A and B are shown apart, each in its own frame.
Chain A
Amino acid sequence: MDQFTLNLLFVGASFALYIGIAVWARAGSTSEFYAAGRGVHPVTNGMATAADWMSAASFISMAGLIAFTGYDNSSFLMGWTGGYVLLALLLAPYLRKFGKFTVSEFIGDRFYSPTARLVAVICLLTASITYVIGQMQGVGIAFGRFLEIDTTWGLLIGSCVVFAYAVFGGMKGVTYTQVAQYCVLITAYTIPAVFISLQLTGNPIPALGLFGEHTASGEPLLAKLDQIVRDLGFAEYTAAHGSTINMVLFTLSLMIGTAGLPHVIMRFFTVPKVSDARWSAGWTLVFIALLYLTAPAVGAMARLNISELMWPNGTDGAAVSVEQIDNDPEYAWMATWQKTGLLGWEDKNGDGKIQYYNDANAELQDRAAANGWEGNELTNFNRDILVLANPEIASLPGWVIGLVAAGGLAAALSTAAGLLLAISSAVSHDLLKGQLTPNMSEKSELMAARISMAAAIVVAVLLGLNPPGFAAQTVALAFGLAAASIFPALMMGIFSTRINNTGAVAGMLSGLVVTLLYIFLHKGWFFIPDTNMFTDADPLLGPIKSTSFGAIGAAVNFAVAYFVSGMTKEAPQEIKDLVQSVRIPRGAGTAVEGH
């Protein structure tokens, strides 16, 4: 059986499973559509939240970004896990006690203002749509590879599948499907990592293998990797190169953003009790950590494998020949990935070999001149293909490759569906039913929810065709926006009785606007290419890149909210009582529909 059929088989089987579950657990009423009834156990909820959370960015993109940058991209690892500490300590139990369905309902009630609710909806939509763009990029790459077509077509086909899938059921269908997706994606991520770790270090646990010994050379794996990338003129893998301030701010943005993302927070509304909300955050992180502790090993080992494949005779010997790439089955993955348009090579100097090195490095330029090289010949290696290509690069059996294809799609689909649900509930439940047409029937509310899903997908596809960065970077922008707008409002709403309606609205708006402005200045207005005035290589404010600005936006939000609240009328007594009651677990009922 050839690889294409095998991939089709794995992807087809996993899809049949998800659709089967979605049909079996179809949402009937609005409360089921949004919040899955109340019977979700913390471990089940944790697993579903983990699948919801770990998206194309975590599965497909992150290890690739770490592989080609090394230590500097550790921010993704710390940021996307550390946010759960904030979520568990500062938000989850209180929002569960509050007992409504959506984040904006809490903001609207706590800040006793329909305007606050409206602003919260705008913030949620901005962050979620940016997030969906990143997901659609991942969907495009996964479908492109698996159908062996260009990523643009992959994106178009993938978006239809995502839509069909998200419309099928609400949260309940999604919850159980996501449990299945978690199992598929974690197996798909770990199995190749275990194989590769065994090949390179003899240790079956990738997280330990990363710090183990490279069997072939007898040196520590990371020392060997450092030496190889240094020989090729690249920055040392384990060393810090970027600005410390930027790294701190970037990590902080991702952490705060994690705790401010609607589709993750919504999950904690669906557990039976306040104490379960606390455990649930912990279980979520357990399931996430299984992937996140493996990801850095995947990145480092893949970088080592790629470098050795391109230099089969060692970095001092001759580079791999074009003939070998064309004929040797070990290099067959290069031809497959070339079809997606995300991998490319070119024998610039016509010596029949492909030299892969950093042609911007002075030392390597000397070596290139001496050997007649005319620049790096591995001309295109999109970071986002690394994880999906990894099992092929390591020459693992065909079924592992099929499994990874299914896992990548599971990751992208589950998050895209969760986000679409958050977007549709924001539009139909908060915007239409909560503000514009309160007398809407359940049926037309569900219809509005589905129409807004379709609209969100169309926008995401249009913007996803010209993405502002690699999938994980696009997603990082969404986190910056959530960090600057939603998280501060939620936290102040619980931990301070002083913040009033005007303060919260002013805070959210200023946080959102400064962050959006900073992002657009660097990434182009509405992410339209070539409309940017600055680049992340040379940002407006010192070392602070657009992906790191969320932390500053959050600080602006906090500061403005405090300042404005201090100058305007105090919050009324019943709001102070509401805050007191949210702080105490006793008396938590089940979530109820608002307005």
Chain B
Amino acid sequence: MSENSEDNNAYWDANVRLIKISLIVWAIVSFGFGIIFRPLLAGIPVGGTDLGFWFAQQGSIIVFLILIFFYAWRMNNLDQEHGVDEE
């Protein structure tokens, strides 16, 4: 493993970058839209209430799902690009 440790580091850095981006999205939809910034979204009506309520009870869950599948797909590609996938 040591001979390609540089490539392994690049792989890990790419992974950490991807995780950071995903977790920012994760936090924005739940803690952001769903809770803290809900008053700012109060002007956008959704079925008898506002967008913040929708994010808290529906939207964030849907985004979480997309995030996990996106990450799995992206990482499985990264594994191959960096030659660290399981044979």
**Quick check: B86 and A81 within 8 Å, CB to CB?**
no
Query: Would you call A77 and B61 a contact (CB within 8 A)?
Result: yes
B76 CB contacts on chain A under 8 angstroms = 275, 278
Question: Which residues of A lie under 8 Å from residue B53 when comparing CB positions?
Answer: 71, 74, 222, 238
Write out the residue numbers on chain B whose beta carbons fall within 8 Å of the beta carbon of A244. Answer: 35-36
B46 at the interface (CB under 8 A from A): yes
B11 / chain A contacts, CB cutoff of 8 Å: 584
**B3: min CB distance to chain A, Å:** 13
With A and B bound together, what is the CA distance between A105 and B75 in angstroms?
26
Is A5's CB within 8 Å of the partner chain B? no
Count residues of B near A (Cβ-Cβ below 8 Å).
45
CA A219 – CA B45 in complex, angstroms? Answer: 14
Give CA–CA (A278, B77) in the complex, Å. Answer: 12
| Contacts A81-B61, A211-B54; A282 near B68 (Cβ below 8 A) | yes
Chain B residues, Cβ within 8 Å of A211: 46-49, 54
Chain B: interface secondary structure? Answer: helix
Interface residue A469 (Cβ < 8 Å from any Cβ of B): no
Compute how far the CA of A77 lies from the CA of B60 in the bound complex, rounded to whole angstroms: 9
Is the Cβ of B49 less than 8 Å from the Cβ of A222?
A: yes
**Which chain B residues numbered 1 to 55 have a C-beta less than 8 Å away from chain A?**
1, 5, 8, 11-12, 15-16, 19, 22-23, 26, 30-31, 34-36, 38, 46-50, 53-54
Could you tell me the distance between the alpha carbons of A247 and B36 in the complex, rounded to whole angstroms?
9
- Taking a contact as CB atoms under 8 Å apart, the answer to whether B61 and A292 are in contact is yes
A584 touches B68 (CB 8 A): no
Query: In whole Å, how far is B29's beta carbon from the nearest beta carbon of chain A?
Result: 9
State which of A212, A296, A588 has its C-beta within 8 Å of the C-beta of B58. Answer: A296
B56-A248 in contact (CB<8A): no
Which residues of B are found within 8 Å of A226, using beta-carbon distances? 48-49
Q: B1 touches which one: A88, A273, A275, A580 (CB < 8 A)?
A: A580
A-B contact count (CB 8 A): 142
Nearest residue in A to B46 (C-beta to C-beta)? A211
Q: Interface digits, B62-73 against A, CB 8 Å rule (1 contact, 0 not)?
A: 101101110110
Complex contact A281–B68 (CB within 8 A): yes
A89 / chain B contacts, CB cutoff of 8 Å: 19, 22-23, 68, 71
Which chain A residues border B38 with CB–CB below 8 Å? 240
| Contact of B47 with A74 in the complex, beta carbons under 8 Å | no
**What B residues does A585 contact at CB under 8 A?**
79, 84-86
- Residues of B near A247 (CB, < 8 A) are 35
Q: CB-CB < 8 A to A285: which residues of B?
A: 64-65, 68
**Contact between B86 and A85 (Cβ–Cβ < 8 Å)?**
no
Secondary structure call for the A interface: helix
- Cα-based distance from A93 to B75 in the complex (angstroms): 10
- Contact, CB under 8 Å: A289 / B86: no
Q: Check A296/B19 contact, CB under 8 A, given A219-B48, A275-B86, A585-B84.
A: no
In the complex, what's the smallest C-beta–C-beta distance from A554 to chain B, in angstroms? 15
Q: Which residues of A contact B64 (CB under 8 A)?
A: 81-82, 84-85, 285, 289
* A-B contacts, 13 listed (Cβ < 8 Å): A74-B34, A84-B64, A85-B22, A85-B67, A211-B46, A251-B31, A278-B68, A279-B69, A285-B64, A296-B57, A580-B1, A586-B85, A587-B86
* New A-B contacts (17) at CB < 8 Å, excluding given A275-B75, A495-B16: A78-B56, A78-B60, A81-B61, A81-B64, A88-B71, A211-B54, A226-B48, A226-B49, A274-B86, A275-B72, A275-B86, A279-B72, A282-B65, A289-B64, A583-B8, A586-B86, A588-B86
Pairs A-B, 8 closest by C-beta atoms? A220-B48, A211-B47, A222-B48, A74-B56, A223-B48, A278-B72, A282-B68, A296-B57
The chain A residues found within 8 Å of chain B, CB to CB, are: 71, 74, 77-78, 81-82, 84-85, 88-90, 93, 207, 210-212, 219-224, 226, 238, 240, 244, 247-248, 251-252, 273-275, 278-279, 281-282, 285-286, 289, 292-293, 296, 495, 580-581, 583-588
